[in-house]
Amino acid sequence: MHSVVNIRLIVALLLTIISTQALSDETGTLSLRLWDKNYDRPQTLAFIQLAIEKAEPKYGKITLSRVEIDTLSQATQALEKNQQIDAYVSGTDIPKEESLLPIYIPLERGLLGFRACMIQPKNQPLFSDIQLANQFAENQLYVGLGSSWPDRNIMIDNGFIIKHANNYESLIAMLANNDVQCFSRSMMEIDDELMAHPKFDAEKRLAFIYPFADILYVRPDATKLHEALNYGLEVAIKDRSYFALFDQFYADSLQKYEFYFRKILVLRNNNISANAREAINRYGIASFSHGPR
């Protein structure tokens, strides 16, 4: 009789421990150490803070902190090795999606794939007769992009002549020196950047569109954080705060630069997964056909 009671007591204690552990996992503090390049961009940070806010009622406190890492490639290596940072925001990219834990909700509705050229004002006439993407190369118009940016290969695959550099400051210098005539910038970036660099202008006629979006990548062993952030963004979509935040940041820029009145050059993206394309088509401001054009 005593042995039966003892066994029941042990089982009850084990169940209590398991229940307590589950509660701790569900409501305990999660850590989100974010790459400084994302943290320092107010719009990106706002979407991440929105995800955290919506996740916390279910997952408990999520602490957000900033970690400095020089380049995107270094940040990717840190994530893959489960070191230094817990998550970062970067463009959709099949190798990253396979090695990390992606969240297939575009933070800024696929606006990363809505592009215009930042140019020197004197070069505006160079673009006046462009009708097709391949005319950039025919007219020796060079496009500047980061060495490790996923969209570099997108532009190359579509026939553009690319010059690249490891960091943003070098690309700005290349534009200033006329080493490149177009610094490809997304519509979610260009307004802030032109205010920071008033000697440049946005090219006025053309726009590039391709399926490409910023998404959150979480380090491979942080499954609970991945689950929490994904849940938070899903809640924000359901209660429409996700769309309201997008309009707050970008509705004026799309109107200011008359994006929808430009000559649109639709480009293919050969490095987009079915999941990423589906997410852009579902939540983005434009939809794209399946498969290469």
CB 87 within 8 A of CB 217: yes
Evaluate if residue 293 carries a pLDDT over 60: no
Higher pLDDT, 158 or 20: 158
What is the torsional sign of CA 103, 40, 47, 208? negative
- At the second CATH level, the architecture of 112-209 is 3-Layer(aba) Sandwich (3.40)
Q: Where in the chain is the domain with CATH 3.40.190.10?
A: 29-110+212-255+271-283, 112-209
For residue 62, give both structure tokens.
């999520």
pLDDT-derived band at 260, boundaries 50, 70, 90: confident
Mean pLDDT, range 198-216, rounded to an integer: 95
Predicted local distance difference test score (pLDDT) of residue 3: 46
E strand or H helix that includes residue 44: helix 42-59
**Helix crossing, 241-256 with 223-238: angle to 10°?**
70
Residue 202 bridge partners (DSSP):
118
Mean pLDDT, range 106-124, rounded to an integer: 95
Evaluate if residue 152 carries a pLDDT over 80: yes
Percent of the chain with pLDDT over 90: 80
Q: Which candidate, 190, 207, 198, 193, places its Cα nearest to that of 120?
A: 198
Evaluate if residue 22 carries a pLDDT over 70: no
**CB burial string 252-264: b at 16+ within 10 A, e below:** ebbeebebeebee
Residues in the chain, overall count: 293
Evaluate if residue 12 carries a pLDDT over 60: no
Evaluate if residue 40 carries a pLDDT over 50: yes
Whether domain 29-110+212-255+271-283 has CATH 3.40.50.2000: no
How far is the C-alpha of 115 from the C-alpha of 117, rounded, in Å?
Answer: 7
Three-state secondary structure call for residue 51? helix
What is the torsional sign of CA 265, 268, 272, 276? positive
Mean pLDDT, range 183-187, rounded to an integer: 94
Q: What pTM value is reported for the model? A: 0.80
